[in-house]
Structure 1
Amino acid sequence: MTLAPSPFVRAALDAAATLPPSGIAWLDAARREHLEAFAATGLPEVRNEAWKYTPLRALSQRAFARAEPAVARDSVVEATAFALPGVDGPRAVFVDGVFRADLSTLAVGQGVDLRSLDDALRAQPEPLRFGLAPRVARGAADAFAHLNAALATDGLVLRVVDGATLAEPLHVVHVSSGRQPDSAWHTRVIVELGRGARATVVEHYASLDEGAQLGTVVNDYVVHEHASLDLVTMQAASAATTLYRRGHVRLEADAVATLHALELGGALVRHEFIAELIGDRARFASRGVFALAGRQHVDTQLDVRHAARDTASDALWRGIADGRSRGVFRGVIVVAEGADGTDASLSNKNLLLSAQAEIDTKPELEIYADEVKAAHGATIGQLDERSLFYLRSRGIPHAEARSLLTLAFCRAALASLPGESLREHLGERLASHLPAAVTE
């Protein structure tokens, strides 16, 4: 007996039926294949280990129609909605998944090619084949990635040639307008840094209104030999937004990538990041914070794969949950056979600020090589009462003392952010988001 598809799946299939063909045979075939994979599995259930702590039964009963591009193009968006200090260079703005040229500035220096995905496909689609038409990994755990690959029609492509540098950070902005309630949008971002190239990308999620929307974003990064990539992602979506993001970076020999992530918004948010160190002496560092309140649910999945000799990774993540919120962190380090000389560490520390809040953390370590240095650890606790007593003994009010300690707990993950003004701004955003007092 075949079960009828859920309202979520039916709506996705209806949305796919409204998409016009791209005119590129391999792309249309890939979209069909991903859609079939999604339809075959539907959304993952809690029995799926990768989704164990993020139940999707309620989401499966919701139907998200395709966001109308015409409405997205007409939405009034003020620059103040996404302005970040110290990030004043090239900018690509997407509203409900649609590229807005009127809000974007794609001017870049010599050796850098930056354009919308639609323009890139029109100009020269074949180089995008590797990123847009990979072999489909069938499985319910990848349901949202399949959905994105099937339905995303817009996005961004950044290529930096060998030895070139993107002089200023690229600001990639995803805005949910809220004007199209119960709608879904999907975008793809492809970044390739040539040998010895350098770039900083700031990914920013914001909402204009409280309308319930679903967004999916899949980012692919290829960092060639001796290249360096800095990634900063700041998520401050509305309390009605459901957001899925997947980032995948491949690091060749002597390549370096750094990720900083700050999660503040959203109702149901899933952030998956996969780092593959496929070249000798590749380096990857990640720092992240989630600060949750109300009934927010944020799920972070970090997967670091060491596949070459003398590679190194360092992960430091912090989590705070207040109210009835729930945070999830799963960090996996895999050291493949032959990846001798690997140096890997992962630390995840969390604070519960309410008796009703919940945090689930699961660090994992798999080692199949010799001569490896690896460590991982996780903690869940409450504010240190001795430190709190010390601050109060110095005349600091109870609520302010708690906020100071909570902020200090988080700042370790933001201390290495590139750019002083951006670092201070994100610290201020975090501070304003933290509760003034802790619920007993």
Structure 2
Amino acid sequence: MTTSLPDAAPLPNTRSPECPFDPPAELAGLREKHPVSPMAFPDGHVGWLVTTHALVRAVLSDPRFSARAELLHFPVPGPTATAKPRPAPPGIFTQTDPPEHTRYRHLLTGQFTVRRMRGLTERVQEIASDHLDAMERHGPPVDLMRSFALPIPSLVICELLGVPYSDRESFQEHSTALMRLDNSPQEMFAAYNALRDFMGKLVLAKRAKPTDDLLSGLTTSGLTDEELTNIGFTLLGAGHETTANMLSLGAFALLRHPDQLAVLRADPGGIDQAVEELLRYLSIIPCTVRVALEDVELGGQTIKAGQTVTLSVPAANRDPQRFADPDSLDLRRSASGHVAFGHGIHQCIGQQLARVEMRVGYAALFERFPTLRLAVAPEEVPLRDDMLIYGVHSLPVTWDATLRDGDV
């Protein structure tokens, strides 16, 4: 391995328009030659970028690396990238360490058991079927993002948390504003405060009159109103943004890989494996970050205490040392071990719910519309290059409309 390190550079984030599903090309070169390389952060901090699967998992499972918000430097240019780091508000469990993180995680784990999430399958199927019915009544073309990919996880997380679905347009608008990298700090904070105010009022309503939902269930757990508000805020945002973009970008990828779509259609029972491969291949979360609490040797480099380490999820999931022919979409491969949901104690708590929504969503969509195809040229699909979570802003699709039994 080359010993001389490259100069610190920003996180690569430019994707090739010829293949919108591939990570930035520079990541592969760094992974091969400098798996732990100096990285320049927007606020001037010089930290590190980690690009191999083994080292990303090592950092995520090492207690010498912290997730605490007040210690981290933000790796992507954005509205608050140069702001001084501050402690996470109470309840934002994703940006805490044990024992605080353990307390929150223990309370939430019981709400997101594999059994409970799989028990939601029938309800997710109903929701998916309703939206496919609406698409069919509308007729082609439609925007798959707005008609199918976004409503399904939004409605599911609303029902799970006890959020009135009638408020979805408002929270989706504010949630999108939080993800935009080109918004001003004022616009971002306005969206943040609007979502917190909305969730705060909902928490008070649940305390006064509990219903059969996750948020109501947590009102007796000893959490403060502020903690409940921030937990609800976190789950609401994470519960629809990521899955919506996986459903839409995954559909785009399958339509652009007809051989793999044929594999899925020929073997519907392979949907679980297909979902894992799409998660690996697409890796819509560009990175996660940790900070060294002490000097740590990693991949031949010394990470100094206080330095922020950026972990490239797409680079790790395309690592040829872990996945054979990693740049190919192969629904027959076993993609177990990917880090699309993270790894270690902070691994995504809602991952089983996301899997249910993707399994149901992909299967139902391509069964209902066997002639589904893009309604525009592939290069005309607007990509979310300007967002924290990668995906598409819209996905225009069409199909050969036919009358169903009973239609007039």
TM-score tier by shorter-chain length is: under 0.3
Q: What's the TM-score, normalizing by structure 2?
A: 0.22
More contact order relative to length (CA 8 Å, sep ≥ 6): 2
Normalized per residue, which structure has more strand? Answer: 1
Normalized per residue, which structure has more helix? Answer: 2
